[in-house]
Amino acid sequence: MAYLFTSESVSEGHPDKVADQISDALLDNFLAFDPESKVACETLVTTGQVVLAGEVKSDTYLDVQNIAREVINKIGYTKGEYQFSGDSCGVISLIHEQSQDINQGVDRGSKEEQGAGDQGMMFGYATSETENYMPLALDISHKILHTLAEIRRENKEITYLRPDAKSQVTIEYSDTNEPQRIDTIVVSTQHDPFDKDDEKMLAKIKSDIISILIPRVKAQLPKETQKLFDDQIKYHINPTGKFVIGGPHGDTGLTGRKIIVDTYGGKGAHGGGAFSGKDPSKVDRSAAYAARHAAKNLVAAGVADEILVQVSYAIGVVEPTSIFVDTYGTSKVTLSDGDIAKKVAQLFDMRPFAIEERLKLRNPIYLETAAYGHMGKEPVTITKVFESPYNGRIEREVELFTWEKLDMVDKIKKAFSL
């Protein structure tokens, strides 16, 4: 029987994502000036205020207030009427030094023997239904909001947009798990109050989203996916009415509250640990990236059409406590899922330091992950510039999204005789 599946995304101006981006900007600056920094930084944003809290062990000192303000302004919160602006908000720092009790379990005499920064289980997922091996509903949801932000910054075709927005896409699947059509698209976007008549204003927003935004999103997708858009799609555009009050003035934002948006949109599984603001010794983050790297390469190599990889750890212990694989009955090899998991353990070194080295995670690469998903983006090398009144100016060439590289496909094919 056919079924529906839904995923959502939120924009870079959503309060929780503002918090994530500030936390990751702080992390990047710590790692840029001291790659051995241990960071667990949380951010709270609300009307006119930013609160920074957490634990840091680093040889560098940062102007955390200025970093937070730069992030807020770059997102687009630059006007007083938003009740939250990078130039005028208060920034309170409650960051303190990392607990020695935790640190002693992580740092060892040999880096190779570095223990996991926490216990827990992390998941990586991949599916062949999209070119980037991500769930289709989530991929389209991200593209809707990323494109909406581009239109907002262009300020040409739609001139009333504000930074806060959410999207949601529902896809109809066949009995054989093939996408058939897009059933529903939901877009809620913050906007200026540009008409005294609310009904006329909402009608204009709905018309612009359907006639301007959606065609630009559709054009980014492969032809097969474009066929899923038909004239029967149900659109809910700002369904609660006008959306003038938004961002941190409308809702308090906290680091780590959008973990499903950050990963697979409800497909696969999630271990519960957030990513942003955490250095790679925290396996919540690094092992989730490593599990995605393994899952994506396994699907690309043809082991299965859909794969979930779970890895788990005990705090302070070097080796993972388990590795689990689920192919959802889509395996193309004669091995059981348990035997596939054993091969994954042989192919991918899941010790914390090995993950850091393999994926080059002790670099300032994290701000770019903090909006529109940590998975499914294109690996790219860029130059980033960091300036500090205490540390001067440095340029760093870094590789972004190393866990998205298809650099293990040949080894996997050889291991599985594909």
Binding-site annotation: residue ranges: 14, 16, 42, 55, 98, 164-166, 242-243, 251, 257-258, 274, 278, 282
Binding site feature residues for L-methionine: 55, 98, 251, 282
Q: Which residues are annotated as a binding site for ATP?
A: 14, 164-166, 242-243, 251, 257-258, 274, 278
Exposure pattern of 379-414 as b/e (b: 16+ CB <10 Å)? eeeeebebebeebeeeebebebbbbbbeebbeebee
Short-list 365, 364, 363, 173, CA closest to 267: 173
> What span, in angstroms and rounded, lies between the C-alpha atoms of 145 and 151?
10
CA distances for 321 relative to 107, 313, 345, angstroms: 19, 5, 11
DSSP strand E in 192-347: where?
234-237, 253-254, 306-313, 322-326
Q: What is the DSSP letter of 304?
A: B
Q: What is the chain's length?
A: 418
Buried b / exposed e across 82-98, counting CB within 10 Å, b at 16+?
A: bbbbbeebebebebeeb
CA dist., res. 243 & res. 120, Å (int): 39
Residues in binding site for K(+): 42
Q: Which residue has the tokens 């395996």?
A: 331
3-state helix, strand, coil in the chain (%, to 5): 35, 25, 40
Residues with Cβ < 8 Å from 14, sequence gap 6 or more? 164, 165, 166, 247, 253, 258
